[in-house]
């Protein structure tokens, strides 16, 4: 390696090698666990069914299915937690010191008065960090998906909209890692101290994740599943229920009153009740599992957009030499 | 303003730098001659470090201009010709000495590995030692090795001797002077230890309150000033002789009936004055102690005197 | 070879300290014709002074005809200052010993003897400038001898450059 890239490597090699070793350990562990899982599925001739109330699951040996899930869910949750926490880890240990430690210790004065300029110096170190963050988070996200997919959205197992899965896989996980890195770098540059910058990036990434998890269901409209008359409602299966049930009146309006027609001893049956109140059908609002990708791309765009804004800020601050 | 026959290493015009509402440097104009050793002196907070940061492009000026051999500080050309040793002598603590020299080699096109290694070896520092475990003196030696490995034409040293014991001070200064002897490097060095600068510098630039208070060739500045002692003149309020141009007075103190004054120019006529040409240290001390009486033209025409 | 030392508190200009030390070495015979003086680089590495100061001192010695620069080789001693007449066993010294003993017997203190000797030396070695009437020292005038020049005196700068 030559020039500023050598410097970037020399300064980050401990992080790169530690990260690579941990990742390799994860790969080995997941490969072992997943092979175990697959042989269990094969041995019991499982028909892997989707959804907790699906007819697909009717013929499944529930005892064995529960064993399959309980054997693997903890591991997947642990891996998912690691993957979901990776952006914070990257922000704290890679982003915050990337410029923060240089400014804190004064070594930026040494680096920036050599033959290579600010641009090459920053590009090399930030580029290496970006490369490693993207690779690392992508591998971890892929591992989660790989392990989880054979038993995904199954019975009372892990569903796509669970935080352990949604935040740990897909393009959004990689974009979030990039955001964590950029936020850490910006915090280090603006605060000029590593430790406070670490605290700030922890707060920012966790806070943003919390906001996104809270407001995720408001990004897009859920799908209303409509059943005519008193026909039985469609099973929820692997969809993400909003919990909004209701009736459709004669004018086609949705009336979100789930308990308009309770049933029980001495009460009219559903058909009679609906006829009495003028309802012609029922609905249930859900996000089908295909919305996983819509949510993922929306959040990917949010993370990348914020990362781009922070990156621009870093460039402006560096170029204006507002540091010191 | 400056002797046109002497090439210029640094030239400042209207140079100013503001941090929020405070001006660290304001309206500075000076030149630093090439091939000379210039002492940058001034009290803490006078703007010495700011000036170094402006000269290396680590900071941009708020007003005015500074050029390094005619180039913009921080430009490729200026960086290739300048080496800077910041006050805290920053090095990467987890690098080995060998890594640190490799750092210099990787980041500079024109790098003299042999020269850098020679300096390290002369200090008996093993190449596989971690920087963090070196003594202050050894770290200074390695930092100087990185600076000299660049083969700079301009060497900027911000308080290089602070925190060093007296032996290491001589050793470090000896290294710098050796480099100057060998390559005719232009040096700008700031220091608090005025007596150490006396035997070292050709030129002096004194900053105070963010402005240039004195700028010129050491020998000429000393000759242009005079300190005289005698009986205070009771008829004038300040004890100075009536005919003396008050604008030339750098410092004057009356103790009892005795007057001691430091003036730029010649002593007042009359044989009742004991006059002496000051040493550089005395000159600098007088300017450092004095309030801002001599107006800025003192600083401006210093080099032309 | 000669090893220089610098007294930063003496008030004597650094280049003059170097000049004195070379002269001293020449007088004592520590340096002899043909000896090489240390290079500017060697001197400054040891005593941490401005290389121009060394060059200035060497120029001064060259001007006095004591040393001679040989391009590419260094600066070499050209003539010695050691004189047999000033040696430890010379008759002049013996006379001086007798004279000092008489002065002491006459009740003079060391400082009185020194002042007396100095006055006689000043009178004897004083060279009048062409444009001024010869008046005996200590009138302000040209410097008595380069050794005595200190930077503090206003005249010191006139004699160089």
What is the per-residue pLDDT across C92-106, written as a single tens digit (0 to 9) for each? 888 889 999 999 999
Instruction: Say yes or no for a CB contact (<8 Å) between B174 and C45.
Output: yes
For residue B280, tell me if it sits in a domain: yes
Percent of chain B with pLDDT over 70: 93
If asked whether residues C91 and C46 sit together in one domain, one would say no
- Supply the pLDDT for residue B5: 65
Highest mean pLDDT of the ranges A25-29, B76-80, B287-291: A25-29
Distance CA B36, CA B34 (A): 5
If asked whether residues B158 and B262 sit together in one domain, one would say no
For residue A132, tell me if it sits in a domain: yes
If asked whether residues C36 and C54 sit together in one domain, one would say yes
- Provide the CATH number for the domain around residue B71: 3.40.50.300
Nearest chain A residue to B150, by CA: A114
Residues of B with CB under 8 A from a CB of A: 53, 56-60, 74, 76, 79-80, 82-84, 86, 88, 90-93, 95, 99, 102-104, 106-110, 146, 150
Among C55, C77, C99, the domain boundary falls at C77
- All partners of chain B with 3 or more CB pairs under 8 angstroms: A, C
If asked whether residues B70 and B19 sit together in one domain, one would say yes
- pLDDT tier, A238 (very low <50, low <70, confident <90, very high otherwise): confident
Highest mean pLDDT of the ranges A68-77, A304-313, C79-88: A304-313
Lowest mean pLDDT among A9-18, B23-32, C131-140: C131-140
If asked whether residues A106 and A132 sit together in one domain, one would say yes
Give chain C's domain count.
Answer: 2
User: What is the average per-residue pLDDT within A248-277?
Assistant: 81
Give the tokens for residue A78. 């642990």
If asked whether residues B106 and B196 sit together in one domain, one would say yes
Nearest chain B residue to A323, by CA: B59
User: What is the average per-residue pLDDT within B142-155?
Assistant: 95
- pLDDT tier, B296 (very low <50, low <70, confident <90, very high otherwise): very low
If asked whether residues A120 and A244 sit together in one domain, one would say no
For residue B234, tell me if it sits in a domain: yes
Q: Which of A102, A150, A154 is nearest to A124 (CA)?
A: A102
pLDDT at A322 over 60: no
Mean of the per-residue pLDDT values of chain A: 90
- Supply the pLDDT for residue B112: 95
If asked whether residues B164 and B190 sit together in one domain, one would say yes
Q: Which of B181, B195, B277 sits opposite C51 (nearest CB)?
A: B181
Among C57, C77, C97, the domain boundary falls at C77
Check residues A235 and B55 and name the one with the higher pLDDT: B55
Query: Taking the mean position of all CA atoms in its chain, how far away is CA A293?
Result: 11
Among C56, C77, C98, the domain boundary falls at C77
- All partners of chain A with 3 or more CB pairs under 8 angstroms: B
Mean of the per-residue pLDDT values of chain B: 88
- Supply the pLDDT for residue A124: 96
| Contact between chain C and chain A (3 or more Cβ pairs less than 8 Å apart) | no
If asked whether residues A121 and A265 sit together in one domain, one would say no
- Supply the pLDDT for residue A1: 66
If asked whether residues B188 and B283 sit together in one domain, one would say no
B-chain residues within 8 Å CB-CB of C156?
277
For residue C113, tell me if it sits in a domain: yes
Instruction: Say yes or no for a CB contact (<8 Å) between B107 and A116.
Output: yes
Query: pTM score, two decimals?
Result: 0.83
Residue ranges making up the domain that contains A130: 3-218+304-319
Q: Are A263 and A270 in contact (CB under 8 A)?
A: yes
Q: Side by side, which strands form the sheet with B82-85?
A: B82-85, B154-158, B186-190, B37-41, B203-208, B211-217
If asked whether residues B58 and B120 sit together in one domain, one would say yes
- Provide the CATH number for the domain around residue C71: 1.10.10.10
For residue C119, tell me if it sits in a domain: yes
Give chain B's domain count.
Answer: 2
If asked whether residues A210 and A250 sit together in one domain, one would say no
Check residues A252 and B136 and name the one with the higher pLDDT: B136
C-chain residues within 8 Å CB-CB of B201?
50
If asked whether residues B270 and B186 sit together in one domain, one would say no
Q: Please state, in angstroms and as integers, the Cα–Cα distance from residue A99 to each residue in A48, A123, A184, A198, A298, following that order.
A: 49, 12, 9, 12, 30
pLDDT at C135 over 60: no
Q: Which of C8, C44, C46 sits opposite B198 (nearest CB)?
A: C8
pLDDT at C159 over 60: no
**B165 interfaces chain C, CB cutoff of 8 Å:** no
Residue ranges making up the domain that contains B268: 224-294
Instruction: Say yes or no for a CB contact (<8 Å) between C44 and B180.
Output: yes
For residue C8, tell me if it sits in a domain: no
- Supply the pLDDT for residue A292: 94
Instruction: Say yes or no for a CB contact (<8 Å) between A106 and B82.
Output: no
Instruction: Say yes or no for a CB contact (<8 Å) between B58 and A109.
Output: yes
Distance CA A46, CA A87 (A): 36
If asked whether residues B259 and B189 sit together in one domain, one would say no
Q: Are B162 and B194 in contact (CB under 8 A)?
A: no
Q: Which of C50, C152, C153 sits opposite B199 (nearest CB)?
A: C50
Distance from CA of B180 to the nearest CA of C (A): 7
If asked whether residues C64 and C102 sit together in one domain, one would say no
pLDDT single digits (tens) C16-71: 999 999 998 888 888 889 999 999 999 998 998 999 899 999 999 999 999 999 98
Taking residue A116's Cβ as centre, other Cβ atoms within 10 Å add up to 21
pLDDT at A281 over 60: yes
If asked whether residues A262 and A129 sit together in one domain, one would say no
Query: Taking the mean position of all CA atoms in its chain, how far away is CA B14?
Result: 19
- Supply the pLDDT for residue C139: 41
Give chain A's domain count.
Answer: 2
Percent of chain C with pLDDT over 70: 75
* Close Cβ partners of B153 (under 8 Å, ≥ 6 residues apart): B9, B34, B69, B81, B82, B185, B186
User: What is the average per-residue pLDDT within B147-151?
Assistant: 94
pLDDT single digits (tens) A96-115: 999 999 999 999 999 999 99
For residue A229, tell me if it sits in a domain: no
For residue C139, tell me if it sits in a domain: yes
User: What is the average per-residue pLDDT within A79-90?
Assistant: 96
For residue B305, tell me if it sits in a domain: no
pLDDT at A229 over 60: yes
pLDDT at C88 over 70: no
For residue B45, tell me if it sits in a domain: yes
If asked whether residues A22 and A67 sit together in one domain, one would say yes
pLDDT single digits (tens) B10-52: 999 999 999 988 999 999 999 999 999 999 999 888 899 999 9
Residue ranges making up the domain that contains C51: 14-77
Taking residue A78's Cβ as centre, other Cβ atoms within 10 Å add up to 13
Distance CA A56, CA A154 (A): 10
For residue B114, tell me if it sits in a domain: yes
B-chain residues within 8 Å CB-CB of A320?
60
Nearest chain A residue to B52, by CA: A109
For residue B192, tell me if it sits in a domain: yes
For residue B274, tell me if it sits in a domain: yes
B-chain residues within 8 Å CB-CB of A10?
95, 99, 103
Best A113, A119, A316, A318 member to test B by mutation, with max B CBs in 10 Å, is A113
- pLDDT tier, B234 (very low <50, low <70, confident <90, very high otherwise): confident
Nearest chain C residue to B266, by CA: C154
- Supply the pLDDT for residue A234: 82
Percent of chain A with pLDDT over 90: 63
Q: Which of A38, A33, A147, A22 is nearest to A82 (CA)?
A: A22
Please report the DSSP string for A89-151 in residue order. HHIIIIIHHHHHHHHHHTHHHHHTTSSS-HHHHHHHHHHHHHHHHHHHHHHHHHHHHHHHGGG
For residue C3, tell me if it sits in a domain: no
- pLDDT tier, A54 (very low <50, low <70, confident <90, very high otherwise): low
C-chain residues within 8 Å CB-CB of B275?
154
* Distance in angstroms between the alpha carbons of the first and the last residue of chain A: 30
For residue B215, tell me if it sits in a domain: no
If asked whether residues C89 and C144 sit together in one domain, one would say yes
For residue A223, tell me if it sits in a domain: no
If asked whether residues A104 and A212 sit together in one domain, one would say yes
- Supply the pLDDT for residue B48: 93
If asked whether residues B266 and B141 sit together in one domain, one would say no
If asked whether residues B205 and B271 sit together in one domain, one would say no
pLDDT at C161 over 60: no
Instruction: Say yes or no for a CB contact (<8 Å) between B277 and C152.
Output: yes
Q: Which of A2, A114, A324 sits opposite B108 (nearest CB)?
A: A114
For residue A232, tell me if it sits in a domain: no
- Supply the pLDDT for residue B271: 66
If asked whether residues A154 and A104 sit together in one domain, one would say yes
pLDDT single digits (tens) B188-229: 999 877 877 888 999 999 999 899 999 999 989 988 999 888
Q: Which of B172, B202, B222 sits opposite C52 (nearest CB)?
A: B202
If asked whether residues A161 and A87 sit together in one domain, one would say yes
For residue C122, tell me if it sits in a domain: yes
- Supply the pLDDT for residue A219: 87
Q: Are strands B154-158 and B258-264 parallel, antiparallel or unpaired?
A: unpaired
- Supply the pLDDT for residue C85: 64
**A117 interfaces chain B, CB cutoff of 8 Å:** yes
């Amino acid at each position: 390696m030559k020039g500023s890239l050598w410097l970037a490597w020399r300064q980050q090699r401990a992080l790169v090698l530690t990260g690579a070793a941990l990742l390799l350990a994860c790969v080995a562990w997941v490969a072992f666990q997943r092979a175990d899982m697959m042989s269990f599925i094969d041995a019991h001739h499982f028909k892997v069914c989707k959804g907790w109330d699906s007819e697909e699951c009717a013929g499944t040996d529930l005892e064995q299915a529960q064993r399959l899930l309980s054997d693997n869910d903890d591991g997947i949750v642990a891996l998912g937690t690691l993957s979901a926490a990776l952006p914070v880890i990257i922000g704290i240990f890679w982003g915050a010191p990337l410029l923060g430690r240089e400014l804190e210790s004064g070594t930026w004065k040494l680096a920036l008065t050599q033959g290579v300029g600010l641009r090459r110096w920053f590009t090399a170190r930030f580029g290496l960090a970006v490369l490693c963050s993207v690779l690392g988070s992508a591998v971890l996200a892929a591992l989660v998906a790989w392990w989880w997919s054979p038993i995904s959205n199954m019975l009372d197992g892990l569903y796509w909209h669970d935080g352990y899965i949604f935040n740990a896989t897909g393009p959004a996980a990689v974009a979030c890692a990039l955001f964590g890195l950029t936020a850490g770098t910006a915090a280090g540059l603006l605060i000029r101290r590593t430790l406070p910058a670490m605290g700030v990036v922890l707060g920012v990434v966790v806070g943003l994740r919390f906001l996104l998890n809270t407001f995720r269901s408001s990004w897009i409209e859920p799908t209303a599943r409509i059943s005519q008359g008193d026909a039985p409602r469609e099973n929820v299966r692997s969809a993400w229920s909003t919990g909004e049930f209701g009736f459709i009146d004669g004018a086609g309006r949705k009336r979100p009153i789930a308990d308009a027609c309770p049933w029980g001893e001495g009460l009219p049956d559903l058909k009679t009740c609906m006829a009495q109140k003028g309802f012609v059908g029922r609905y249930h609002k859900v996000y089908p599992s295909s919305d996983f990708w819509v949510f993922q791309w929306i959040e990917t765009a949010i993370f990348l957009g914020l990362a781009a804004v922070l990156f621009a800020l870093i460039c402006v601050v560096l170029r204006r030499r507002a540091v010191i | 303003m400056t002797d046109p026959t002497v090439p210029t290493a640094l030239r400042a015009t209207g140079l100013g730098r503001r941090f929020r509402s405070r001006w660290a440097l304001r309206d500075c104009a000076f030149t630093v001659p090439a091939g000379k050793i210039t002492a940058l002196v001034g009290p803490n907070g006078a703007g010495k470090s700011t000036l170094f940061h402006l000269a290396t492009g680590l900071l941009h000026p708020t007003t005015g201009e500074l050029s390094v051999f005619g180039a913009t500080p921080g430009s490729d050309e200026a960086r290739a010709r300048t080496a800077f040793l910041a006050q805290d002598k920053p090095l990467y603590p987890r690098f080995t000495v060998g890594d640190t020299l490799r750092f210099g080699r990787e980041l500079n096109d024109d790098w003299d590995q042999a020269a850098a290694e020679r300096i390290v070896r002369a200090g008996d520092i093993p190449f596989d030692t971690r920087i963090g475990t070196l003594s202050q003196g050894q770290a200074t030696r390695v930092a100087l090795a990185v600076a000299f490995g660049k083969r700079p034409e301009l060497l900027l040293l911000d308080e290089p001797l602070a925190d060093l014991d007296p032996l290491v001070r001589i050793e470090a200064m000896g290294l710098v002077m050796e480099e100057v002897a060998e390559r005719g490097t232009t040096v700008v060095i700031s220091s608090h230890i005025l007596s150490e600068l006396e035997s070292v510098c050709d030129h002096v630039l004194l900053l105070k309150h963010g402005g240039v208070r004195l700028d010129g060739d050491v020998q000429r500045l000393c000759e242009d000033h005079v300190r005289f002692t005698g009986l205070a003149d009771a008829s004038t309020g300040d004890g100075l002789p009536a005919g003396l141009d008050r604008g030339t007075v750098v410092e004057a103190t009356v103790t009892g009936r005795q007057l001691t004054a430091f003036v730029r120019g010649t002593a007042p006529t009359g044989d009742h004055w004991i006059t002496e040409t000051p040493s550089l240290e005395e000159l600098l001390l007088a300017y450092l102690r004095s309030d801002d009486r001599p107006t800025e033209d003192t600083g401006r025409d210093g080099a032309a005197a | 070879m000669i090893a220089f030392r610098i007294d930063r508190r003496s008030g004597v200009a650094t280049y003059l300290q170097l000049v004195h030390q070379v002269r001293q070495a020449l007088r004592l015979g520590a340096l002899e014709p043909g000896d090489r003086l240390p290079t500017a680089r060697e001197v400054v590495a040891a005593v941490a002074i401005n290389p121009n100061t060394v060059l200035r001192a060497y120029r001064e010695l060259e001007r006095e005809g004591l040393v001679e620069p040989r391009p590419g080789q260094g600066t070499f001693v050209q003539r010695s200052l050691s004189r047999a007449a000033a040696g430890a066993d010379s008759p002049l010294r013996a006379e001086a010993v007798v004279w000092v003993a008489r002065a002491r017997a006459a009740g003079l203190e060391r400082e009185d003897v020194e002042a007396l000797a100095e006055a006689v030396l000043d009178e004897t070695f004083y060279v009048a400038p062409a444009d001024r009437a010869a008046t005996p020292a200590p009138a302000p005038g040209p410097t008595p001898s380069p050794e005595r020049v200190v930077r503090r005196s206003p005249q010191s700068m006139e004699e160089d450059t």
